[in-house]
Amino acid sequence: MTSLALLTLALLTLRSVSSLSLWYTEPGSSSPAGSVAGDKVRGVNLGGWFILENWMMPSFFGVAPLDQYNILDEWHYCSILGKDECASRLTDHWATYVTEDDFMRFANYSLNTVRIPVGYWMWIDLEDYEPYVQGQLPYLEKALGWADKYGLDVMIDMHGLPGGQNGQDNQGVKGPIEFAYNQTNSDRALSAVQNMTQWVTQDKFNGIVKAIELANEPYIQEYNPGGMLFEDLANYYVQSYQVVRNSEHIIDGGHEVMVFIHDAFQPLANWDYFFSTEGLGLSWTNYGVDTHIYDAFGSSPDKTWQEHLDTMCYLASSIASAQTKFPVIVGEFSLGTNTYCVDYQSCFGATLADTIANLTDYETSLFLRQFWEVQSDVYELGAGWIFWSHANEFAAPWSWSQSAAQNWIPEDPTEKIWPFYSDASSGCLDISNPIAGDQNLPYFPGYANNISNINIDFVRAKYASASSASSTNDNSTSASISSSSGASSVTSPSSGSSPSASASASSSASGARRRIRGEATGVIGMLLLVVGIMF
């Protein structure tokens, strides 16, 4: 075996070990996944892709004839257009809203995870009264292929359940919470989870889907009077967990997917009982809890900058405590301290540059960098974080791409400018005492920078080089990588059409093309191992 092949295998092993510790808790272990310092989920959501949200892309809802209506959600979007026109417009949206270049940037910014929200209507037959359209799976398949290519793990999130679990537009239709009204909704949800699990765990996806979330932000009556009973949510969690375990396919050398529940906006400590001696989740293995943290609603916009920072400090102890019991991921957060485009029509004609014009003075940019740093510090007391969302047409602090372009988010998410004290309930980020002194405070562009100008050529060259290197490996290495990827095509469980095989084609050398970045000590250790083998 050549030295290059050995190096490739060493890097593959490094990636595999890192991924295993992020997404797998050994049964009986006292150290939940994500507990190791430095070994954290650091990711971004692909929100607004497979489930429309009008505040994220106002102009998409302003094209005739939609400009004559108040479009609340994807349900009404398709109802007004009709299925044929809706399918045509959404197909264009699916093909352009998320691209391979996005995944390259995620990798270059040292992210390791993407969370992909999906609706139940992607996975089961639709009823005549449902206006949704299908055809998303070829685009999801491309995304899984890109994730594999650039070394990003994937969490698939069931963002919308039949009947609706939270009444908001992000479930697909805004209105009453009717998921628990009848058995039909539950049965359809479980069928969707089954079909989704079977599809995303196929061999051809190379085990890239590491986690499945059973429901996004469900409301229970303790949180909202219009919510469902806790017992109904708990029963769904138990049944859908069992469906995942009975439906998943575990690739050779892999392990069961991690199953996440959302905390239903209840204290994390409350869920310890659910998984404890008498709880319904007693027999669960490899599970975690997702919590969403935003400081932009209600009275939050009236806070001072220091109060926003201290709000995060206050959360540190509960996250750290819960992480000793089960993995805790902050699956959604942003840099927003206020909302944008709640009345999406008020944002017609506005641009991202308009928003950024009010945020580019140095003091504001410095606060946004501090807000980023305190959140990432606090959330890494748990298993990690996933930013909402990768893009936003108008709201820059809610856009990972634009926040990165403005340097509010650093290229290396482990870069720290200020000391962090995890046991301080206020002032936990010491912004008065930069670690390297005031002379090393970050630079911020005083204008609306464009993420497409940042390092993309470098990223493209880096991964093209890795791909080229893999093609020169000896035959045994190439064969082992190819055989692990799988190539079978599975028919869509809902539409009956066969998704594109692009992901399986690209994954034949995906292992060698995976991220050649990593923790410096780990890379050095593996290189020393290779040198030892060679000599």
53, 74, 248, 332: the active-site residue: 332
| Residue 30 identity (one-letter amino acid) | S
Fold assignment, 3-534: TIM Barrel (3.20.20)
Tens digits of residue pLDDT in 76-89: 999 999 999 999 99
Evaluate if residue 515 carries a pLDDT over 70.
no
Q: Is 332 a catalytic residue?
A: yes
Q: Are 84 and 146 in contact (CB under 8 A)?
A: no
The chain-wide mean pLDDT, for the chain, equals 86
The pLDDT of residue 474: 38
As beta bridge partners, residue 44 has 114, 387
500 pLDDT higher than 60: no
Tokens of 336: 């927003």
pLDDT category at 75 given cuts 50, 70, 90 is very high
Whether the pLDDT of residue 491 is over 50: the answer is no
Among residues 216, 215, 254, which one has the least CA distance to residue 235?
Answer: 215
- Residue 454's pLDDT band, with cuts at 50, 70 and 90, is low
Question: What is the rounded radius of gyration, in angstroms, for the C-alpha atoms of the chain?
Answer: 23
CB-CB contact of 103 with 109 (8 Å): no
Is 445's pLDDT higher than 80? yes
Percentage of the chain lying above the pLDDT 90 cut = 75
Q: How far apart are CA 392 and CA 57, in angstroms?
A: 6
User: Is residue 278 among the annotated active site residues?
Assistant: no
Residue 489's pLDDT is 32
**Predicted structure pTM score:** 0.85
Closest by CA to 331, choosing from 241, 262, 269, is: 262
**Reported confidence tier of residue 451, pLDDT bands at 50, 70, 90:** confident
User: What are the distances in angstroms from CA 160 to CA 71, 127, 341, 422, 515?
Assistant: 18, 16, 22, 35, 32
Q: Among candidates 483, 355, 465, 324, which has minimal Cα distance to 7?
A: 465
Whether 502 shows a pLDDT value over 50: the answer reads: no
pLDDT in tens, 388-437: 999 999 999 999 999 999 999 999 999 999 999 999 999 999 999 999 99
Burial 245-282 (b: 16+ CB within 10 A, else e): bebbbebeebbebbbbbbbbbbebeebbebbeeeeebe
User: What per-residue confidence (pLDDT) applies to 19?
Assistant: 60
Residue-wise pLDDT tens digits, 266-279:
999 999 999 986 67
Which residue is catalytic, options 217, 248, 380, 393?
Answer: 217
Phi-psi label, residue 516: left if phi above 0, alpha if psi -120 to 50, beta otherwise: alpha
Q: What is the mean pLDDT of residues 107-118?
A: 98
Q: In the prediction, which pLDDT does 528 show?
A: 40
Q: Which two tokens stand for residue 227?
A: 């919510």
pLDDT tens readout for residues 247-270: 999 999 899 999 999 999 999 999
Structure tokens at 330: 């902050």
pLDDT of residue 11: 46
Q: Does the pLDDT of residue 326 top 50, yes or no?
A: yes
